[in-house]
Structure 1
Amino acid sequence: MPHNIAASIEAEAFLAAHPDLVGVDLLLPDQHGVLRGKRIPAHELLKVYEQGIYLPGSVFALDINGNTVESTGIGFDTGDCDQPCRVVPHSLAMVPWQNKPMAQCLLTMEQRPGEAYFANPRHVLDQICDQFQNQGLTPMVAVELEFYLTDVNRLESGLLQPPIAPITGLREADTQVYAVDNLDDYSALLDDIMLAAHAQKIPASTAVAEYAPGQFEINLQHIADPVLACDQAILLKRIIKSVSQKHGFGATFMAKPYADQAGSGMHIHMSLLDANGVNVFACNEQNQPNTLLSRALAGLQATMAETMALLCPKVNSYRRFQPDFFVAMAPTWGVDNRTVALRIPNGCSTATRIEHRVSGADANPYLAMSALLSGALHGINNLLILGPQTTGNGAEKVAPSLPLNWVDAYAMLSNSKFAKDAFGAEFLHVYIQVQQQEYNEFNRHVSRLEIDWYQRTL
């Protein structure tokens, strides 16, 4: 890979500012959003910035347990060949939760220097953003992440249990949505998460006690760069899990860790700016979407079912879709209504935006964002007509019309012309094969519930 003078300057300045640096984690998000890569000694950092490194393309063929899915065609079929990886500019930062001076930076994989690698979700999103730029539009986005703190010790059954609050010494048992006292109970942990985010220039702004024991939400600020927003979401998840571990807690972004509690979502806010930085979704009439916003909403309605497998990728993802948990089961839209899939939050006209409420916290942020942006663009470019607004409890008024199980969702993605055009047939082949093998392995196991139900009765 060619010498990169600007990158070298960034690395040299960082090394000069941190002369005691021991090592650097080079992080490459895979199909699941899991961070893969390698750890290097500090003295190799400048070389990586100048020349990049090579990692096997099969990183994007790994299942959730790190096993290569050969049916993707990018394992043995390619000789498990290496691909060039370069550092994402400005992602280099210290890692404050380590016991020694460590840093990290993001990598992105390419087919060859300067050319996107087809199986890289980050490049899929980047190419969709280019389509907006070609039309003089820039998505302004923000990501909200819900997660559970858990006890590091599981129940005897192997299931998770809520944590013991550090201040009260009591195990969490109640739903205390928006309770400030719950934030006080975990203030040391939440403060350290915010400090780590600040140290890594990740604009985390708000911590909220959510809808179940031990559940919290942390929001990222709006930025006019969807790829960077997803970089920040990926790194925020690492911060939350790592800092929680240091404080003696587990943290999980499973969509549904407890059967009888609310699931965890990843809500994405999106508006569009024109070349002058003006929000083109801004409405003259309150609660009445303008033409462009209406078309974007219609596009999201039209494509949501076909992209559910990107928004909700795992078997566990679909356990989240239950009545009375503020999870929409149809591609509905409404103004200031948390029971719909596409919410237009209240606020001043210039802040008019779409809140996409369907994707789970377990989704790969790059792919969930790709589904949202490509759906909105589909509606805008094809002049789609928006259906009627849903008012009141959407779960009671609209029959489920989204695929609410893994099999149906992946069947719709596999057969979708829209998805092939938006994300590329080659990318979808790899993605679906990776998830299919995970599903097959999941179904191969006999659960304790099956034994309890069927051993003596049948």
Structure 2
Amino acid sequence: MTDTCPSGATLAEAEAFLAAHPEIEAVDIILHDSNGIGRGKIIRRHELLSLYKSGRHMPISILGLDICGEDVHETGLIWDQGDGDLRAWPIPGSLKALHNTTPPRAEVLMSLYELDGQPMTSDPRHALQRQVDALAAQGLKPAAAFELEFFLLDPKRDENGDVRPASDVLDGRFSRKTEVYSVDHLHGMLPLFSDIYAGAEKAGIKAETMISEYAPGQYELTLHYREDVMQAADDLIRLKRIVRAQARAHGVVACFMAKPVADYAGSGMHLHVSLMDEAGQNIFAEQPDAGWTQPLLHALGGLRSTMAESMLVFAPHLNSWRRFANQSYAPVSTSWGVNNRSVALRIPAGDVKARRIEHRPSGVDANPYLVAATVLAGIRYGLEQRMDPGEQTKGNGYSEDADDSAMPRDWKSAIEAAKSSEFLKDALGEDMHRTFTAVKAAEYARVARTISDVDYDLYLHTI
């Protein structure tokens, strides 16, 4: 057993934080499972130093839970190992004060390690770190940012039992219109948005542009581009918690389902990514009049060729698959294109120095650590195999010509494709792959045996 913090966090960080924040009474310690759900404990102020000295024992089974928090025995993380404890250690730089809490609290992100200090390989953060390390061995460093789309909903359903947009927190005004890009519409939520920005600032997250999106009650919040892809994933997962908490404080519900409303667009979690060489140069950036760089094209080729077997990572839940539809701004094929929002892999317009790939398949319900790990693995594969991405899609990416028969069309097909994928096993690591696919299979079985309202509506008085 090791008493040296394997994550690199230091006692001095905790001591400095406590000295700077005498008001803090408690700290949320948060470990993220395969679904990206934060699980952990709330410790008291006086316990923080011991956390940094010795870590905190947590049951290994915490990483083998399904979306409902039930054990998934097929992960091999429950009784196969006696549900023993491993040790969670704080992530350096992640100890931050929370905004708008009574009494004042802080949070710190954690990662799970074996008792000898080795990474616990069913921890999603370690899966991403494997890919970062593999690229570093090739002299490359990924830079990235996620986009966060979400709905703000009324806590009460309408007369039909359907969710409905939240009324403005400023004056109670209500709208069912698609207020896409309406600046005046944003003003009604400014008190809430101000708290979100304040929470992000305390967390060291550079939250940027707020947009009224393409559905009633839907919004998008962009994040500053990071030179560290792990920091980009941390930003996204922490920002979701900030949005949820501040929305709740204002009496509304922040919804991160991929498709909460049947007749409108769903919520994505687009990942923008580029690669820097050892000199800090973006290898995707082309020279004037020289055309796309070979690394960019090879990266696109790798992402296209591995997308079908990776879709379970990008669309991990039954509801995720309701997001994919024609003319929905969610991709339905592996297409790539330039300045085109109907494709899966978009090269945005803009400064050549900022050349990047926008990976668009993921819903906001996906785990950002696993999404980033899988995307980086696809890029690595394309670079190593010097893959050709094929012709770019120009115009409508939803046309019949863009149909991709290799793509899974439903959750069950995605689960089967992921389970048999050698690429995904390498991308996530064997243990994380087993854990993730076992959890998804268990969740599918849970949903399949559930009798829904649709069953009664269709069949109760008919057959």
* TM-score tier (shorter): over 0.9
Gaps of 5+ in 2: none
Deviations 1:59-100 (A, max 9, x none): 111111111111211111211001111000110111112111
- Counterpart of 2:409? 404
Which one of the candidate residues 307, 330, 343 is aligned to 1:340?
343
Q: CA deviation at 1:288?
A: 3.5
Match of 1:143 among 143, 146, 159: 146
Q: Deviations over 1:401-445 (max 9, x none)?
A: 421210111111111111122222222111111111111111211
Match of 2:239 in 1: 236
Match of residue 421, structure 1, among 426, 429, 432: 426
Q: Deviations over 1:299-343 (max 9, x none)?
A: 000000010000110000000001111111101000000000000
1:308 corresponds to which of 290, 308, 311: 311
Structure 2 match to 1:29: 32
Change (3 A) 1:259 1:6: closer
Q: 2:115 aligns with which of 99, 109, 112?
A: 112
Residue type of the alignment partner of 2:157: R
Aligned partners of 2:173 and 2:188 also within 8 Å? no
Quick one: distance in 2 between partners of 1:158 and 1:85?
41
* 1:112 Cα deviation after fit: 3.2
Cα distance in 2 for partners of 1:126, 1:27 equals 18
Contact preservation (8 Å) 2:77, 2:83: yes
CA distance in 2, matches of 1:113, 1:49: 16
Q: Decide which moves more: 333-342 or 173-182.
A: 173-182
Match of 2:333 among 330, 336, 341: 330
3-state secondary structure, aligned to 2:114? strand
Q: CA RMSD in A?
A: 1.4
Matched with 2:3 is 2
- Give the TM-score taking structure 1 as reference length: 0.97
| Distance of 1:228 and 1:28 partners within structure 2 | 15
- Does 2:450 align with 1:449? no
Distance 1:454 1:286, change over 3 A: farther
Map Cα deviations across residues 255-292 of structure 1 (whole Å, 9 max, x no partner). Answer: 00001111000000001101111111001256932101
Q: Does the 8 Å contact 2:146/2:232 carry over to 1?
A: yes
Q: How does 1:29-428 map to 2 (within 5 A)?
A: 29-167=32-170, 169-285=172-288, 288-396=291-399, 397-401=401-405, 402-428=407-433
Aligned counterparts of 2:378 and 2:101: Cα–Cα separation in 1: 40
- Counterpart of 2:15 (choices 3, 12, 17) is 12
Distance in structure 1 (CA, Å) of the matches to 2:461 and 2:140: 63
5+ residue gaps, structure 1: none
> Mean alpha-carbon deviation: is it higher for 1-10 or for 402-411?
1-10
Deviation of 1:157 (Å): 4.6
1:434 partner letter: V
Residue 55 and residue 157 in structure 1: after superposition, are their counterparts in 2 closer, same or farther (change >3 A)?
farther
Question: Which stretch has the larger CA shift, 448-457 or 42-51?
Answer: 448-457
Give, as a single letter, the amino acid of the residue that structure 2 aligns with 1:444: R
Paired with 2:305 and 2:184, the residues of 1 have a C-alpha distance of 42
Number of positions where the alignment pairs a residue of Structure 1 with one of Structure 2: 458
Over 3 Å counting, the alpha-carbon distance change for 1:232 and 1:388 in structure 2 is same
Q: Which moved more, 1:127-136 or 1:5-14?
A: 5-14
- Contact 1:54/1:84, CA 8 A, preserved across alignment: yes
What's the counterpart of residue 431 of structure 1? Answer: 436
Q: Is this contact kept in 2: 1:287–1:335, CA < 8 A?
A: no
Give the conservation status (yes or no) of the 8 Å contact 1:84–1:113: no
Residues 46/222 of structure 1: CA separation in 2 closer, same or farther (3 Å cut):
same
Secondary structure, counterpart of 1:115 in structure 2: coil
Q: How many angstroms apart in 2 are the aligned matches of 1:352 and 1:149?
A: 32
Is the Cα contact below 8 Å between 1:31 and 1:120 reproduced in 2? yes
**What is the alpha-carbon distance in structure 1 between the residues aligned to residue 365 and residue 294 of structure 2?**
33
- Matched position secondary structure for 2:398: helix
With structure 2 as the length reference, what TM-score do the two structures score? Answer: 0.96
- Residue by residue over 1:172-225, the C-alpha shift from the partner in whole angstroms, topping out at 9 and shown as x without a partner, is 211121111121111110111001100110111111111111111111111121
- Which deviates the most, 280-289 or 243-252? 280-289
